[in-house]
Structure 1
Amino acid sequence: MNDEAPVKRWTAKRKSAVVIDIFKGKTTPVEVARQHDLTVAEVERWVEEAERSMEN
């Protein structure tokens, strides 16, 4: 069980840290969603946004 307090506000910095961990293979969108009570679609959208930003 996760002992951390739930994140109330996902800042760009927090999102990018999660996305970097996903890119590095340290976690998956499914694991992040489960740990933070998010939908997998939300987390995958963060990953897609990061990929688009890197392309520009």
Structure 2
Amino acid sequence: KWVTTYEEYINYYPNFWIEKKKSQLNDRLDKEAHDLVKEILEQKDYRQAYISQ
């Protein structure tokens, strides 16, 4: 069975594709780290304050 390519990656050079994937992974890990720290702080009774504008 043939796997279809993602159109957005057709013209990528390998190094560009690698850098794009690194960036995506970094963004995902940043979000995971943020969520983990938020959960730990909430367990210690810290609350995130939202400023209404």
TM-score range normalised by the length of the shorter chain: 0.3 to 0.5
Higher-Rg member (1/2): 2
Length-normalised TM-score, structure 2: 0.35
Length-normalised TM-score, structure 1: 0.34
